[in-house]
Amino acid sequence: MKCPLETREERVLVAYSSRTLDGGDKELLEAHLQSCSACREFVRGQREVWEALDGWEAAPVSADFDRRLYARMQREVSWWQRMRGRMGLVPVYRALLPVTTLAALVLAAVLLERPSPPRVPPQPVTAQVEGLQPDQVVHALDEMEVLDQFNHMMKPDSSTPRM
Amino acid sequence: MMERVNTNMGGATAALDYDAELMLRVKDGDGASFAQLLEKHRSPVVHFLYRMVQQQAVAEELAQEVFLRVYRSRGTYEPTAKFTTWLFRIATHLALNALRDGRNERNQERLDERSDDMPALQVEDRRPSVEQAMVHQATLDEVRRAVAALPGKQRAAVLMHKYREMEYTQIAKVLNCSESAVKSLLFRAYETLRARLAHMA
Ligand SMILES: [Zn+2]
Protein backbone atom coordinates (compact mmCIF):
# COMPACT_ATOMS: atom_id res chain seq x y z
CA MET A 1 0.00 0.00 0.00
CA LYS A 2 1.20 3.47 -0.88
CA CYS A 3 1.33 5.94 1.98
CA PRO A 4 -2.13 7.59 2.21
CA LEU A 5 -0.49 10.82 3.32
CA GLU A 6 1.60 10.92 0.17
CA THR A 7 -1.24 10.01 -2.16
CA ARG A 8 -3.64 12.47 -0.50
CA GLU A 9 -5.84 9.59 0.60
CA GLU A 10 -6.04 10.72 4.20
CA ARG A 11 -9.71 9.75 4.20
CA VAL A 12 -8.59 6.17 4.55
CA LEU A 13 -6.81 7.15 7.73
CA VAL A 14 -9.86 9.03 9.00
CA ALA A 15 -12.04 6.02 8.29
CA TYR A 16 -9.56 3.76 10.05
CA SER A 17 -9.37 6.10 13.05
CA SER A 18 -13.15 6.16 13.35
CA ARG A 19 -13.17 2.36 13.05
CA THR A 20 -15.24 2.39 9.89
CA LEU A 21 -12.59 0.83 7.68
CA ASP A 22 -13.21 -2.87 7.15
CA GLY A 23 -11.87 -5.94 5.46
CA GLY A 24 -8.95 -5.84 3.09
CA ASP A 25 -8.48 -2.08 3.26
CA LYS A 26 -8.09 -2.29 7.00
CA GLU A 27 -5.49 -5.06 6.80
CA LEU A 28 -3.54 -3.21 4.12
CA LEU A 29 -3.48 -0.03 6.17
CA GLU A 30 -2.49 -1.83 9.33
CA ALA A 31 0.42 -3.37 7.48
CA HIS A 32 1.41 0.08 6.25
CA LEU A 33 1.14 1.56 9.73
CA GLN A 34 3.83 -0.88 10.91
CA SER A 35 6.37 0.91 8.79
CA CYS A 36 5.09 4.49 8.55
CA SER A 37 5.46 6.69 11.61
CA ALA A 38 3.77 9.67 9.90
CA CYS A 39 0.58 7.68 9.39
CA ARG A 40 0.78 6.29 12.91
CA GLU A 41 1.00 9.83 14.22
CA PHE A 42 -1.98 10.86 12.10
CA VAL A 43 -4.07 7.97 13.40
CA ARG A 44 -3.04 8.71 16.98
CA GLY A 45 -4.27 12.30 16.60
CA GLN A 46 -7.54 11.23 15.02
CA ARG A 47 -8.15 8.64 17.70
CA GLU A 48 -7.72 11.36 20.32
CA VAL A 49 -10.38 13.44 18.59
CA TRP A 50 -12.63 10.40 18.49
CA GLU A 51 -12.18 9.77 22.20
CA ALA A 52 -12.64 13.43 23.07
CA LEU A 53 -15.96 13.36 21.22
CA ASP A 54 -16.90 10.21 23.12
CA GLY A 55 -16.78 12.19 26.35
CA TRP A 56 -19.42 14.64 25.18
CA GLU A 57 -22.70 13.44 26.64
CA ALA A 58 -26.00 14.97 25.68
CA ALA A 59 -28.54 15.87 28.35
CA PRO A 60 -31.70 13.82 28.78
CA VAL A 61 -34.72 15.15 26.94
CA SER A 62 -37.15 17.11 29.11
CA ALA A 63 -39.82 14.95 30.69
CA ASP A 64 -42.62 17.08 29.25
CA PHE A 65 -41.32 16.99 25.67
CA ASP A 66 -44.17 14.82 24.36
CA ARG A 67 -46.81 16.73 26.25
CA ARG A 68 -45.58 20.02 24.77
CA LEU A 69 -45.47 18.48 21.30
CA TYR A 70 -48.99 17.10 21.51
CA ALA A 71 -50.19 20.44 22.88
CA ARG A 72 -48.73 22.17 19.83
CA MET A 73 -50.41 19.67 17.56
CA GLN A 74 -53.64 20.23 19.42
CA ARG A 75 -53.31 24.01 19.00
CA GLU A 76 -52.84 23.55 15.28
CA VAL A 77 -56.17 21.83 14.89
CA SER A 78 -58.08 23.88 17.45
CA TRP A 79 -58.27 26.66 14.88
CA TRP A 80 -60.12 24.27 12.59
CA GLN A 81 -62.32 23.22 15.43
CA ARG A 82 -63.27 26.85 16.11
CA MET A 83 -63.89 27.38 12.44
CA ARG A 84 -66.04 24.32 12.31
CA GLY A 85 -68.03 25.62 15.28
CA ARG A 86 -68.50 28.99 13.65
CA MET A 87 -69.74 27.41 10.47
CA GLY A 88 -72.14 25.28 12.48
CA LEU A 89 -70.73 22.17 10.92
CA VAL A 90 -71.99 18.90 12.24
CA PRO A 91 -70.00 15.63 12.12
CA VAL A 92 -71.90 14.58 9.00
CA TYR A 93 -70.18 17.44 7.22
CA ARG A 94 -67.67 15.06 5.74
CA ALA A 95 -70.42 12.98 4.20
CA LEU A 96 -71.94 16.10 2.72
CA LEU A 97 -68.60 17.30 1.42
CA PRO A 98 -68.94 15.97 -2.13
CA VAL A 99 -72.35 17.64 -2.32
CA THR A 100 -71.11 21.01 -1.07
CA THR A 101 -68.06 20.82 -3.33
CA LEU A 102 -70.29 20.10 -6.28
CA ALA A 103 -72.58 22.97 -5.31
CA ALA A 104 -69.58 25.30 -5.14
CA LEU A 105 -68.44 24.15 -8.57
CA VAL A 106 -71.89 24.68 -10.03
CA LEU A 107 -72.05 28.14 -8.47
CA ALA A 108 -68.62 28.96 -9.89
CA ALA A 109 -69.64 27.66 -13.32
CA VAL A 110 -72.78 29.78 -13.22
CA LEU A 111 -70.79 32.86 -12.25
CA LEU A 112 -68.25 32.21 -14.99
CA GLU A 113 -71.04 31.83 -17.54
CA ARG A 114 -72.04 35.37 -16.76
CA PRO A 115 -68.74 37.28 -16.79
CA SER A 116 -70.27 40.76 -16.55
CA PRO A 117 -73.43 40.69 -14.49
CA PRO A 118 -75.37 43.92 -14.51
CA ARG A 119 -75.33 44.07 -10.73
CA VAL A 120 -73.16 42.71 -7.98
CA PRO A 121 -74.44 39.24 -7.14
CA PRO A 122 -75.26 38.60 -3.51
CA GLN A 123 -72.27 37.38 -1.55
CA PRO A 124 -72.37 33.64 -1.13
CA VAL A 125 -72.77 32.54 2.45
CA THR A 126 -69.35 30.91 2.36
CA ALA A 127 -67.63 34.26 1.98
CA GLN A 128 -66.90 34.41 5.69
CA VAL A 129 -64.76 31.30 5.45
CA GLU A 130 -62.72 32.56 2.54
CA GLY A 131 -59.68 30.41 1.93
CA LEU A 132 -61.08 27.40 3.68
CA GLN A 133 -60.77 24.52 1.26
CA PRO A 134 -62.95 21.46 1.73
CA ASP A 135 -59.93 19.15 1.74
CA GLN A 136 -58.39 21.23 4.51
CA VAL A 137 -61.45 20.65 6.61
CA VAL A 138 -61.22 16.92 6.05
CA HIS A 139 -57.54 17.14 6.91
CA ALA A 140 -58.40 18.91 10.16
CA LEU A 141 -61.00 16.31 10.98
CA ASP A 142 -58.41 13.60 10.44
CA GLU A 143 -56.04 15.48 12.73
CA MET A 144 -58.63 15.58 15.45
CA GLU A 145 -59.22 11.87 15.24
CA VAL A 146 -55.51 11.17 15.58
CA LEU A 147 -55.12 13.71 18.35
CA ASP A 148 -57.94 12.05 20.24
CA GLN A 149 -55.79 8.93 20.20
CA PHE A 150 -52.83 10.94 21.51
CA ASN A 151 -54.92 12.31 24.35
CA HIS A 152 -55.65 8.77 25.43
CA MET A 153 -51.99 7.85 25.26
CA MET A 154 -50.65 10.81 27.18
CA LYS A 155 -50.40 10.05 30.84
CA PRO A 156 -50.29 12.94 33.31
CA ASP A 157 -47.64 11.26 35.47
CA SER A 158 -44.89 11.04 32.87
CA SER A 159 -42.36 12.82 35.02
CA THR A 160 -39.33 10.60 34.54
CA PRO A 161 -36.61 12.12 32.38
CA ARG A 162 -36.24 10.47 29.01
CA MET A 163 -32.80 9.20 28.15
CA MET B 1 -41.23 30.49 7.18
CA MET B 2 -38.72 27.90 6.22
CA GLU B 3 -39.24 26.13 2.96
CA ARG B 4 -40.82 22.76 2.99
CA VAL B 5 -38.59 19.75 3.19
CA ASN B 6 -39.28 17.42 0.35
CA THR B 7 -40.11 13.88 1.26
CA ASN B 8 -38.75 12.60 -2.00
CA MET B 9 -35.17 11.53 -1.45
CA GLY B 10 -34.20 11.34 -5.07
CA GLY B 11 -35.58 8.05 -6.21
CA ALA B 12 -33.67 5.82 -3.83
CA THR B 13 -35.35 2.45 -3.68
CA ALA B 14 -34.73 1.73 -0.04
CA ALA B 15 -36.22 -1.38 1.46
CA LEU B 16 -39.19 -0.53 3.58
CA ASP B 17 -37.81 -0.26 7.10
CA TYR B 18 -40.00 -0.73 10.13
CA ASP B 19 -40.06 3.01 10.81
CA ALA B 20 -41.33 3.65 7.30
CA GLU B 21 -44.05 1.09 7.90
CA LEU B 22 -45.01 2.92 11.08
CA MET B 23 -45.06 6.18 9.17
CA LEU B 24 -47.39 4.69 6.58
CA ARG B 25 -49.69 3.71 9.43
CA VAL B 26 -49.55 7.29 10.69
CA LYS B 27 -50.55 8.29 7.19
CA ASP B 28 -53.58 6.03 7.60
CA GLY B 29 -54.51 7.87 10.79
CA ASP B 30 -52.86 5.66 13.41
CA GLY B 31 -51.74 7.90 16.28
CA ALA B 32 -50.15 5.01 18.19
CA SER B 33 -47.63 4.54 15.39
CA PHE B 34 -46.68 8.19 15.62
CA ALA B 35 -46.18 7.79 19.36
CA GLN B 36 -43.92 4.80 18.65
CA LEU B 37 -41.83 6.79 16.20
CA LEU B 38 -41.58 9.63 18.68
CA GLU B 39 -40.50 7.29 21.46
CA LYS B 40 -37.79 5.76 19.32
CA HIS B 41 -36.38 8.88 17.71
CA ARG B 42 -36.98 11.58 20.32
CA SER B 43 -33.60 11.31 22.02
CA PRO B 44 -31.49 10.79 18.88
CA VAL B 45 -33.06 13.85 17.26
CA VAL B 46 -32.81 16.07 20.33
CA HIS B 47 -29.23 14.98 21.00
CA PHE B 48 -28.22 15.62 17.41
CA LEU B 49 -29.83 19.06 17.48
CA TYR B 50 -28.30 19.80 20.87
CA ARG B 51 -24.82 19.10 19.54
CA MET B 52 -25.61 21.19 16.46
CA VAL B 53 -26.82 24.31 18.28
CA GLN B 54 -25.44 23.55 21.75
CA GLN B 55 -28.40 24.88 23.67
CA GLN B 56 -30.82 22.43 25.17
CA ALA B 57 -33.89 24.67 24.98
CA VAL B 58 -33.26 25.58 21.34
CA ALA B 59 -32.54 21.94 20.49
CA GLU B 60 -35.83 20.79 22.01
CA GLU B 61 -37.75 23.55 20.27
CA LEU B 62 -36.24 22.52 16.94
CA ALA B 63 -36.94 18.87 17.67
CA GLN B 64 -40.58 19.72 18.31
CA GLU B 65 -40.66 21.39 14.92
CA VAL B 66 -39.08 18.29 13.36
CA PHE B 67 -41.80 16.01 14.73
CA LEU B 68 -44.51 18.50 13.86
CA ARG B 69 -43.28 18.49 10.28
CA VAL B 70 -43.15 14.72 10.22
CA TYR B 71 -46.72 14.66 11.42
CA ARG B 72 -47.90 17.36 9.03
CA SER B 73 -46.23 15.64 6.09
CA ARG B 74 -47.78 12.26 6.76
CA GLY B 75 -50.42 12.77 4.08
CA THR B 76 -47.80 13.07 1.35
CA TYR B 77 -45.29 10.66 2.89
CA GLU B 78 -43.78 8.14 0.50
CA PRO B 79 -41.16 5.70 1.78
CA THR B 80 -38.61 6.43 -0.93
CA ALA B 81 -35.75 6.38 1.58
CA LYS B 82 -35.01 5.18 5.09
CA PHE B 83 -37.23 6.95 7.60
CA THR B 84 -34.19 8.18 9.55
CA THR B 85 -32.76 9.72 6.39
CA TRP B 86 -35.90 11.77 6.00
CA LEU B 87 -36.03 12.56 9.73
CA PHE B 88 -32.43 13.75 9.90
CA ARG B 89 -32.83 15.67 6.70
CA ILE B 90 -35.58 17.69 8.33
CA ALA B 91 -33.55 18.04 11.53
CA THR B 92 -30.40 19.13 9.71
CA HIS B 93 -32.35 21.56 7.59
CA LEU B 94 -33.89 23.19 10.66
CA ALA B 95 -30.59 23.24 12.54
CA LEU B 96 -28.70 24.87 9.66
CA ASN B 97 -31.49 27.44 9.35
CA ALA B 98 -31.34 28.16 13.06
CA LEU B 99 -27.57 28.56 12.91
CA ARG B 100 -27.92 30.86 9.95
CA ASP B 101 -30.61 32.92 11.65
CA GLY B 102 -28.26 33.29 14.59
CA ARG B 103 -30.86 31.89 16.91
CA ASN B 104 -27.97 30.62 18.98
CA GLU B 105 -25.68 33.58 18.50
CA ARG B 106 -25.15 33.77 22.23
CA ASN B 107 -23.76 30.29 21.94
CA GLN B 108 -20.17 31.30 22.33
CA GLU B 109 -20.91 33.34 25.45
CA ARG B 110 -22.82 30.46 26.91
CA LEU B 111 -19.93 28.15 26.30
CA ASP B 112 -17.81 30.51 28.30
CA GLU B 113 -20.23 30.89 31.16
CA ARG B 114 -20.94 27.14 31.19
CA SER B 115 -24.67 27.10 30.98
CA ASP B 116 -26.95 25.11 33.22
CA ASP B 117 -28.29 22.99 30.43
CA MET B 118 -25.01 21.17 30.16
CA PRO B 119 -25.25 17.58 31.19
CA ALA B 120 -23.56 16.84 34.47
CA LEU B 121 -20.27 15.07 34.27
CA GLN B 122 -20.47 11.35 34.77
CA VAL B 123 -18.44 11.41 37.94
CA GLU B 124 -20.59 9.68 40.52
CA ASP B 125 -19.03 6.25 40.31
CA ARG B 126 -15.40 7.07 40.05
CA ARG B 127 -15.49 9.94 42.53
CA PRO B 128 -12.60 11.81 40.97
CA SER B 129 -10.90 14.67 42.68
CA VAL B 130 -12.14 18.19 42.10
CA GLU B 131 -9.07 18.76 40.00
CA GLN B 132 -9.84 15.81 37.73
CA ALA B 133 -13.40 17.00 37.34
CA MET B 134 -12.18 20.45 36.35
CA VAL B 135 -9.81 19.00 33.78
CA HIS B 136 -12.62 16.90 32.39
CA GLN B 137 -14.91 19.93 32.19
CA ALA B 138 -12.22 21.98 30.48
CA THR B 139 -11.69 19.21 27.96
CA LEU B 140 -15.39 19.03 27.30
CA ASP B 141 -15.60 22.79 26.79
CA GLU B 142 -12.73 22.56 24.30
CA VAL B 143 -14.50 19.82 22.38
CA ARG B 144 -17.74 21.78 22.26
CA ARG B 145 -15.99 24.93 21.10
CA ALA B 146 -14.13 23.00 18.43
CA VAL B 147 -17.35 21.43 17.13
CA ALA B 148 -19.18 24.77 17.29
CA ALA B 149 -16.44 26.33 15.16
CA LEU B 150 -17.01 23.85 12.32
CA PRO B 151 -19.06 25.02 9.32
CA GLY B 152 -22.65 23.81 9.59
CA LYS B 153 -22.53 21.01 7.04
CA GLN B 154 -19.26 19.62 8.38
CA ARG B 155 -20.69 19.75 11.86
CA ALA B 156 -23.80 17.87 10.81
CA ALA B 157 -21.72 15.27 8.97
CA VAL B 158 -19.45 14.66 11.95
CA LEU B 159 -22.33 14.40 14.40
CA MET B 160 -24.24 11.92 12.26
CA HIS B 161 -21.08 9.93 11.59
CA LYS B 162 -19.79 9.94 15.15
CA TYR B 163 -22.92 9.75 17.28
CA ARG B 164 -25.47 8.13 14.97
CA GLU B 165 -22.93 5.87 13.27
CA MET B 166 -24.47 6.64 9.91
CA GLU B 167 -22.96 5.28 6.74
CA TYR B 168 -21.47 7.70 4.22
CA THR B 169 -24.27 6.89 1.79
CA GLN B 170 -26.96 7.83 4.29
CA ILE B 171 -25.20 11.03 5.36
CA ALA B 172 -24.94 11.89 1.67
CA LYS B 173 -28.69 11.48 1.29
CA VAL B 174 -29.40 13.54 4.38
CA LEU B 175 -27.13 16.35 3.20
CA ASN B 176 -28.22 15.94 -0.40
CA CYS B 177 -24.71 15.60 -1.73
CA SER B 178 -22.47 12.89 -3.16
CA GLU B 179 -20.77 10.25 -1.10
CA SER B 180 -17.35 11.57 -2.01
CA ALA B 181 -18.47 15.02 -0.88
CA VAL B 182 -19.35 13.49 2.48
CA LYS B 183 -15.94 11.84 2.75
CA SER B 184 -14.37 15.17 1.99
CA LEU B 185 -16.56 16.98 4.54
CA LEU B 186 -15.69 14.44 7.20
CA PHE B 187 -12.01 14.52 6.44
CA ARG B 188 -11.85 18.30 6.67
CA ALA B 189 -13.93 18.31 9.83
CA TYR B 190 -11.86 15.68 11.64
CA GLU B 191 -8.66 17.37 10.55
CA THR B 192 -9.88 20.72 11.89
CA LEU B 193 -10.86 19.06 15.15
CA ARG B 194 -7.49 17.36 15.39
CA ALA B 195 -5.69 20.66 14.86
CA ARG B 196 -7.82 22.37 17.49
CA LEU B 197 -7.70 19.62 20.03
CA ALA B 198 -4.12 18.48 19.51
CA HIS B 199 -2.76 20.50 22.42
CA MET B 200 -5.00 18.61 24.82
CA ALA B 201 -3.06 15.39 24.42
ZN1 LIG C 1 2.12 6.51 5.61
Q: What is the pLDDT of residues A3-17, one digit of tens each?
A: 999 988 888 898 898
Q: How far is CA B148 from CA B17, B111, B166, in A?
A: 33, 10, 20
Distance CA B192, CA A67 (A): 40
Query: Based on the domain organization, do B35 and B102 belong to the same domain?
Result: yes
pLDDT digits (tens, 9 = 90+) for B116-147: 455 544 444 556 688 888 888 888 899 999 99
User: Are B83 and B25 members of one domain?
Assistant: yes
| Cα–Cα dist A115/B172, whole Å | 54
Residue B90 maps to a domain: yes
Find all residues with CB under 8 Å of B145, minimum gap 6, and list them: B108, B111, B196
Per-residue pLDDT tens for B59-116? Answer: 999 999 999 999 999 888 988 889 999 999 999 999 999 999 875 555 444 554 444 4
Spatial separation of the C-alpha atoms in residues B175 and B92, rounded to whole Å: 8
Q: Is A51 on the interface with B (CB under 8 A)?
A: no
Do B91 and B147 share a domain, yes or no? no
Q: Mean per-residue pLDDT for A111-139?
A: 48
Minimum CA–CA partner of B31 in chain A: A146
pLDDT at B52: 97
pLDDT at residue B135, rounded to an integer = 81
pLDDT band at B6; cut points 50, 70, 90: very low
Task: State pTM to two decimals.
Answer: 0.72
Q: Give a yes or no: residue B50 inside a domain.
A: yes
Q: Is the ipTM of this complex over 0.90?
A: no
Does residue B147 form part of some domain? yes
> Domain total for chain B?
2
Which residue of A lies nearest to B142 if distances are taken between CA atoms? A52
Pair (B30, B101) in one structural domain: yes
B123 touches chain A (CB under 8 A): no
Same structural domain, B84 and B165: no
**Chain B residues close to A146, C-beta within 8 Å:** 26, 29-31, 34
Assigned domain for B201 exists: no
Q: Examine the domain organization and report whether B41 and B76 are in the same domain.
A: yes
* DSSP of B94-154: HHHHHHHHTTTTTHHHHHHHT-TTSPPPS-TTT---HHHHHHHHHHHHHHHHHHHTS-HHH
**Is the minimum CB–CB distance between B87 and chain A shorter than 8 Å?**
no
Would B182 be classed as within a structural domain?
yes
Instruction: Return the CATH number at B169.
Output: 1.10.10.10
Domain boundaries, position B136: 128-196
Q: From the CA of A33, how far away is ligand 1's center (Å)?
A: 7
In a domain? residue B5 = no
B64/A68 touch (CB, cutoff 8 Å), yes or no: yes
What is the distance in angstroms between the Cα of A102 and the nearest Cα belonging to chain B? 24
Residues with CB under 5 A from ligand 1 (ion): A 3, 5, 36, 39
Any domain includes B120: no
Among A115-129, B54-68, B148-162, where is mean pLDDT lowest?
A115-129
Same domain, B99 and B161: no
Which CATH number covers residue B46?
1.10.1740.10
For position A97, what pLDDT does the model report?
63
Report yes or no on B121 lying in a domain: no
Handedness of CA B159, B161, B162, B164 (dihedral sign): positive
- B193 inside 8 A of chain A by CB: yes
Q: Does B124 contact chain A (CB < 8 Å)?
A: no
